[in-house]
Structure 1
C-alpha cells in the first residue's frame, strides 16, 4: 500500500512534466505586406484616390517595420484598438474576411493608441492571425484626419485609398460588399 501511495504522490509532483507550450502568438508577420496578393488581378477603378501616407509603423509580430506607402493592394487596412467597442465587435469579421480572401486581398490591422499586452490578449481571445501594425501614438489616424475608430481603408494595386469607411462596426456582408465595390474583388 505504501508503494502505491509513493507512486501516486510521485505522479503528482510535476517533476516529469514537460513544459507548457507557449500560447499562440497573435498575428502573422508583416514581411509580405509590400507585395500584392499572388492572385491579385489589376482592376480599373474610377477616380485617382490618395496614396497611403508616407509613414513607417512597427510590425506587431516583430520583424522589419512597414512603410505604408509601399503597401500594394488589393488590401483592406483596419485601424482598431482594444478599448474601442465597435472595433472589438468587427475584428472577428476581418479574420473571417482574411480567411476567405487569402491570395486575393491582403487584410492588415493597425492597432492604434493601445498597449501591446492588452491588444495581444484580445487578439488571442478572438483568434486573430492576419498581419497587424502597431501605432501607439495614432500617427496614421492623425494623417487620415479622422476623429474616431474604427477606420477601414480599401487600397488598390497602386497603393491608393479607394474608400475610407469610418462609421459603425462592419459585419461580414458589408465588408464583402465594400471590397467588391471599391476593390473589384468578389469573394465566395
Structure 2
C-alpha cells in the first residue's frame, strides 16, 4: 500500500515560534479568523472577570512566543532573557512605589499546561489553587488554565482551548 502522506503541513521558516511544541493553526479566510478571535477574547474576558472581579491590567502574549512545560525540561533552551522580553519588559511602579501587577496571557491547546480548573472562587483569590469546597467543585466551569508565578504572584496565564471548540466556531460561520 502506498499512501500520499501529505495530511499535515509544517511551519515555514517565516513563521517563527519560540517552542517546537506549539502547533501552527490557520483557517481559510479572514471571516473565520475574526470569529475565532472574537470568541477567544470573549472567553478570556469572562475568565479574567471571574478571577479578578475588580479588574487587572492584562495583555496577550503572542501565541508564537508561547512555551510549554516541555521547553522547561531543557534549561539551555529557555534563557532568562525570554522572561524579561516577554513578561517583565513593561513593568512600572505605582504611586506607592510597588510594582504594578501586569498579567500576560495566551491560549494553549496543551492540556498539560493547564492543571487548574476555574471554579466560583472567593474574592481574595489571586492565582494559586485554593482548597475548594464541594459546592465550588460542583460549580466548576469548563475553562482550565495554568500559571507562571513569581513569589506566588501570577505573571502569566495559559488559558486552555480545545481544537474542537475552535472548529465549532469556524463551522458556525458557514451555517449562519
- Give TM-score, length-normalised by structure 1: 0.21
- Give TM-score, length-normalised by structure 2: 0.22
Structure exhibiting the larger radius of gyration computed from Cα positions: 1
Structure possessing the higher relative contact order (Cα contacts under 8 Å, 6 or more residues apart): 1
